[in-house]
């Protein structure tokens, strides 16, 4: 297949059958579908860590002499990681104490050496490849879009959403249209904030104009019915999330500068806890492209405990913990699986700017009550003979193995139908 073949992103090929955001009262009866009971729910939250996370300074091989020599300035030693040591050879970054706590409770599986052969070092292509699970150019629909077409399409209510940013390619699909919601405040039919008293008039006029019984098989009717559904669907989401309360004792981290992941995981919690069908959520945290000043300095002395990478991992760790606790308080922690990924890892050899360049193999995290905790996969060797010509690690685990296990064992769909081939199971799910 050529790399940029048409992908058939039919954003609502038939507006008439486009029911994903239809208000439930309009469709539940018609489609004869019941919201899944909480006990049957299988919630997946994907956390994209954008920019290429430095896996070697996330899951740290602190005794590896090659690691220490390749990173004279950036390496963490045993004396740095006393609080986050996982075993005698690996530790989490010291900023990740919250995730360390979850790990100790058996709720975190860390897959080592994840990647694919001939890894792209381009952010865009690398991201597309992870989003589509197509290592040959990253073309085509998203892996979760293909899942959504197969399983979620045609169901009523909000099934899936991307929160905080643009719609990721992972959700591109033939039939299913997954909304991207940048924030709930604007996810509504907005009217002039200067005249809130006029809002009801505006809504009434809109509804009258867009519910004229126009024939739905015309462009005009499709625009009217879809527009009307959009406004009603957004109102339904607003009504649902208005009932949300953060679980007692849980506070989402703010901080200065503010935690950039926590607000989006909180949005995910708002949807998950108030809309019984909202089971597939996507959030992202960017900024991991730490070519320079990956570590900070404190009064002109290098300090690995501050700086960009440390701050980002701290945000990630604390936001995940708050989200986990919130869902636990709502009785949904055992129904929720979290999974991270990044488009690539970073180069073992640090560069001259206290940073790292684009790499290949990486670690990723699968988290939540459903997982079998521990470290899986295989850490690639840093021996000179084991690195590729650019000095990057050779991946040991195909990332599609991770997807396959999530699809087969958690989402309950045959991964072969989504990924086009079989991939060995890693065992992070029972």
Partner 1 sequence: MASITNDEAAHLLRRMGFGGSPAEIDDLVTRGREGAVDYLLNYQLINNSQMDDLLARSFDFSNPLANDGKFNQGEIRRWWFTRMITTRRQFEEKITLFWHNHFATSLSKVNDFYMFPQNLKLRQFALVRFDTLLTEVSKDPAMLIWLDNITNVRGRPNENFAREIQELFSLGITDVVTDQPNYTEQDVKEIARAFTGWTFRLNRADPFNSTFFENPNNHDNGAKTIYGETLNFDGEDVIDRICRRVATGRYLVKKLFSFFVYPLTSSAADKATADKFANVYMSSNHSIKDLVRAIFTSDEFFSARAQLGLIKTPVEYVVGPIRMLGANYNPGLPNQRRDGSLAASTRAMGMDVFAPPDVAGWDLNLGWVNTAAALTRFNFANGLASNRPGNDPVGPWLTNDQLRAFTKSSSKKTVKKFLSVLGPLHPGNSVIKNLRNYLESDDQGNKVEWSVTDATIDKKIRGLVHQIMCLPEFGLN
Please report, as ranges, the residues that interact with partner 1 according to CB under 8 A: 2-7, 9-15, 18, 20-21, 124-125, 128, 139, 166-167, 172, 177-180, 186-195, 197-198, 200-202, 204-206, 208-210, 212, 214, 219-224, 226-227, 229-231, 233-234
Q: Cβ-count burial of 10 within 10 angstroms (0-12 exposed, 13-18 middle, 19+ buried)?
A: middle
Helix (H) or strand (E) holding 366: strand 362-367
In the complex, least distance from residue 400 CB atom to partner 1, rounded to whole angstroms: 21
Phi, psi of 158 (to 5 degrees): -75, 115
Helix (H) or strand (E) holding 151: helix 143-151
What DSSP assignment string belongs to 322-361?
HHHHHHHHTT-GGGEEEEEE-S--B-SS--TTSS--B-S-
CA distance 216 to 336: 38
CA distance 385 to 199: 68
Which positions ≥6 away from 24 have C-beta within 8 Å?
A: 35, 156, 157, 236
In the complex, least distance from residue 132 CB atom to partner 1, rounded to whole angstroms: 11
In the complex, least distance from residue 52 CB atom to partner 1, rounded to whole angstroms: 17
Question: b vs e for 329-368, b when ≥16 Cβ sit within 10 Å of the residue's Cβ?
Answer: bbebbebbbbbbbbbbbbbbbbbeebbbbbbbbbbbbbbb
**Can you read off the two tokens belonging to residue 35?**
């919201």
In the complex, least distance from residue 382 CB atom to partner 1, rounded to whole angstroms: 31
Measured torsion, CA atoms of residues 259, 272, 430, 116, in degrees rounded to the nearest 10? -50
Residue with tokens 């300074």: 57
In the complex, least distance from residue 273 CB atom to partner 1, rounded to whole angstroms: 22
Cα distances from 50 to residues 134, 142, 311, 396, in angstroms, run 18, 17, 14, 21
In the complex, least distance from residue 190 CB atom to partner 1, rounded to whole angstroms: 5
Kindly tell me which of 38 and 235 has the beta carbon lying closer to partner 1.
235
Kindly tell me which of 77 and 212 has the beta carbon lying closer to partner 1.
212
Kindly tell me which of 120 and 342 has the beta carbon lying closer to partner 1.
120
In the complex, least distance from residue 197 CB atom to partner 1, rounded to whole angstroms: 3
In the complex, least distance from residue 377 CB atom to partner 1, rounded to whole angstroms: 30
């Amino acid at each position: 297949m050529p790399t940029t073949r048409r992908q058939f992103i039919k954003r609502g090929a038939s507006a008439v059958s486009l029911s994903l955001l239809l208000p439930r009262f309009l469709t539940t009866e018609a489609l004869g579908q019941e919201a899944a009971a909480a006990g049957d729910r299988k919630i997946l939250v994907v956390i994209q860590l954008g920019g290429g996370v430095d896996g070697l300074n996330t899951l740290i091989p602190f005794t590896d002499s090659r690691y220490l020599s390749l990173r004279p300035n950036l390496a963490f030693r045993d004396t740095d990681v006393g609080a986050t040591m996982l075993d005698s050879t690996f530790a989490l970054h010291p900023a990740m104490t919250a995730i360390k706590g979850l790990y100790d409770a058996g709720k975190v599986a860390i897959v080592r050496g994840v990647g694919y052969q001939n890894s792209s070092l381009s952010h865009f292509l690398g991201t597309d490849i992870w989003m589509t699970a197509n290592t040959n150019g990253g073309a085509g629909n998203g892996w979760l879009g293909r899942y959504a077409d197969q399983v979620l399409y045609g169901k009523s209510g909000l099934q899936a959403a991307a929160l905080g940013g643009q719609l990721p390619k992972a959700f591109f699909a033939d039939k299913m249209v997954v909304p991207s919601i940048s924030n709930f405040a604007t996810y509504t039919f907005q009217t002039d904030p200067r005249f809130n008293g006029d809002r009801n008039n505006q809504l009434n006029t809109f509804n009258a104009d867009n519910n004229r019984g126009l024939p739905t098989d015309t462009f005009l009717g499709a625009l009217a019915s879809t527009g009307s559904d959009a406004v009603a669907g957004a109102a339904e989401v607003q009504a649902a999330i208005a009932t949300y309360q953060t679980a007692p004792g849980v506070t989402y981290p703010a901080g200065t500068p503010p935690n950039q992941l926590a607000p989006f995981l909180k949005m995910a919690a708002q949807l998950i806890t108030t809309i019984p069908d909202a089971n597939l959520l996507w959030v992202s945290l960017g900024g991991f492209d730490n070519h320079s000043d990956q570590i900070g300095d404190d009064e002109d002395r290098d300090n690995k405990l501050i700086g960009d990478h440390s701050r980002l991992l701290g945000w990630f760790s604390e936001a995940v913990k708050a989200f986990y606790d919130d869902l636990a308080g709502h009785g949904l922690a055992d129904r929720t699986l979290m999974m991270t990924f990044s488009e690539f890892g970073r180069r073992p050899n640090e560069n001259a700017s206290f940073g790292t360049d684009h790499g290949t193999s990486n670690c990723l995290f699968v988290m939540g009550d459903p997982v079998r905790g521990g470290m899986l996969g295989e850490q690639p060797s840093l021996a000179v003979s084991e690195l590729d010509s650019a000095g990057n690690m050779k991946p040991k685990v195909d990332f599609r193995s991770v997807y396959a296990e999530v699809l087969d064992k958690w989402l309950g769909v045959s991964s072969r139908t989504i990924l086009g081939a079989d991939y060995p199971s890693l065992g992070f799910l029972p």
